[in-house]
Amino acid sequence: MKVNNYPKLHNAAWPGVVGKGSPGAEPFIDLDTMLDLTANASVNGQKFDGFDLFLYDPHISIDADEEDLKRLADKADKRNLTIGSVVAPVWPPTGGGPALDEREGRKNFLTQVEKGCQIAQTLRELGIRPYGVVRIDTACGPSDWLKDPIGNQRKIADTLWMAADIAEDFGERLAAEGEICWGGMHSWVTMVDLLERVGRPETLGFQADMAHTLLYLMGYNAPEHALLPEGFNWKDTEAFDEAYTKLTDELRPWTIDFHVAQNDGTVHGSGSHDKTGRHCQAKDPNGKLDIVKRAGYWLREGVDGAPHQRYRHICWDGCMFPNSVMMNPQTWNDILETMINVRNAHGWRE
């Protein structure tokens, strides 16, 4: 069997934070524990290469200074892990603001983007972050966006243009997370429109998550843009393939950050996080994706094309997994095995 060493394989640390810690939700899982779970996973001697990071307490403050970041780099280095993409906390509860608000919201949004890019640059200079992007979204819900679709789409595009200027100042790239819970990104049509309006693919691209983009096909939050009919028969692989090819052909050229994931065709929210595509375990029998096959639609130039090599790492996102699932080492071994299979099928050697 062919064994590839690129793209590098990362786990996400933020499932220990997102949807956790608020009243009625499960408690946070601290960063050290998330990194240990990642570092300890092993499949036939192969390990995770690194992790992606949410720039927010209790993992790492968006206001972290250089000494804080050196300690973070040491945490990664002693576990033989690198850092890849980082998530800027652009949402109102985390100090940001909605990208469609031209006043205080935009100011706060851009402040968080700047802080995130500064941290990303520093981690790069410390030698612990050889690749990756700064991830953002619009920090507003579809219901707010729908109050003025045309005007709000323009306002968001203006905010993202300004954010791209900031990213370029730090030598960074921004990836807009395509997820149904964010206004202007809640359907594949509005997502492509937003990317085209900004029109700076060298700086602002798309972050594709296999769990979230499956919901694009189903038209959650945008039924008019559904690529699969209501009550779709998941055994109809020909119809699914046609829809998935359409989706990936539109978004793949913009994609600069990629999450391998599984979804059972339902939505899920936890804590303060709005409902979005449910992340399932890698071997969930209810998963609707042939993960290895469908990852190829994102990682190759077309279904049968060569690996495009536009990003140096891929990440697994276990967002909103229950804590009991995350604390089980087998969870991460199953995930790592799946990602190794994806890399061997669609990666390359250097």
130-159 pLDDT, tens digit per residue, is 999 999 999 999 999 999 999 999 999 999
Asked if residue 295 is part of any domain, the answer here is yes
Q: What is the pLDDT of residues 55-112, one digit of tens each?
A: 999 999 999 999 999 999 999 999 999 999 999 999 999 999 999 999 999 999 999 9
SS3 234: coil
- Does residue 190 form part of some domain? yes
pLDDT 10s digits, 25-70: 899 999 999 999 999 999 999 999 999 999 999 999 999 999 999 9
341 is written with which tokens?
Answer: 């299979």
Q: Which of 72, 83, 3 is nearest to 48 (CA)?
A: 83
Q: What is the pLDDT of residue 128?
A: 98
Q: What percent of the chain has pLDDT over 90?
A: 86
Assess if residue 291 is contained within a domain. Answer: yes
CB of 132 within 8 A of CB of 120?
Answer: yes
For residue 34, the model assigns a pLDDT of 97
| Position 1 confidence tier, pLDDT thresholds 50, 70, 90 | low
Residue 273's pLDDT is what? 44
Structural domain count of the chain? 1
pLDDT tens column, 281-300: 999 999 999 999 999 999 99
Is 134 contained in some domain? Answer: yes
| Extended beta strands in 131-248, E state | 134-136, 174-177, 204-209
3-state SS class at 78: helix
Using 50, 70 and 90 to split pLDDT, how confident is the model at 279? confident
pLDDT for residue 229 is more than 50: yes
Kindly state whether residue 3 falls inside one of the protein's structural domains. Answer: no
How would residue 303 be classed by pLDDT, with cut points 50, 70 and 90?
confident
On whether residue 2 sits in a domain, the answer given is no
Would you state the pLDDT for residue 274? 47
Torsion-angle region of 79 (φ positive above 0: left; ψ -120 to 50: alpha; else: beta)? alpha
For 112, phi then psi, to 5°, come to -70, -35
User: Which pLDDT score is estimated for 270?
Assistant: 43
Residue-range definition of the domain harbouring residue 100: 8-346
Q: Does residue 1 belong to any structural domain of this protein?
A: no
pLDDT for position 267: 62
Average pLDDT over every residue of 196-205: 98
Residue 271 has pLDDT above 80, yes or no: no
Report how far apart, in Å, the C-alpha atoms of 96 and of each of 19, 115, 231 are: 17, 11, 38
Mean pLDDT of 206-235: 93
- Is residue 268 pLDDT above 50, yes or no? no
- Going by pLDDT thresholds of 50, 70 and 90, the confidence category of residue 272 is very low
CATH of the domain at 75: 3.20.20.150
Q: What is the pLDDT of residue 275?
A: 54
pLDDT band at residue 277 using 50, 70 and 90 as cut-offs? low
